[in-house]
Amino acid sequence: MDSAQCRAARALLGWAQDELAEASKVNKKTIADFERGARRPYDRTLRDLQAAMEARGVKFLEDGEVAGGGTGVRLSQTSVP
């Protein structure tokens, strides 16, 4: 997951950084720093962030899964409210 995917996934869920912090148990400052490109969290932290959003139906798309190339996100049709 990259910082743009994190921001986009939060937007799909309608979550503020506070909500992602609560769901993932990751400090809000870490999320804010990551999303603005100031730092890259540990792999474990990225997994926690991604897992929290995937549990709510976000699918993280890798290069080659997105028309036109690059990475992206989408919300599952069966997402949990």
Residue 18 lies in a domain: yes
Residue 81 lies in a domain: no
Residue with the bigger pLDDT between 68 and 52: it is 52
Please say if the pLDDT value at position 81 is more than 60.
no
CATH of the domain at 68: 1.10.260.40
Q: For the range 70-74, what are the long-range contacts, defined as Cβ-Cβ under 8 Å and sequence gap of 24 or more?
A: 71/2, 71/4, 71/5, 72/5, 72/8, 73/5, 73/8, 73/9, 73/12, 74/12
Q: Tens digits of per-residue pLDDT, 10-32?
A: 999 999 999 999 999 999 999 99
Query: Under a CB-based contact definition with an 8 Å cutoff, are residues 9 and 58 in contact?
Result: yes
Please say if the pLDDT value at position 62 is more than 90.
no
Residue 80 lies in a domain: no
Q: What domain count does the chain have? A: 1
- Structural domain for 23, as ranges: 3-75
Residue 25 lies in a domain: yes
Residue 40 lies in a domain: yes
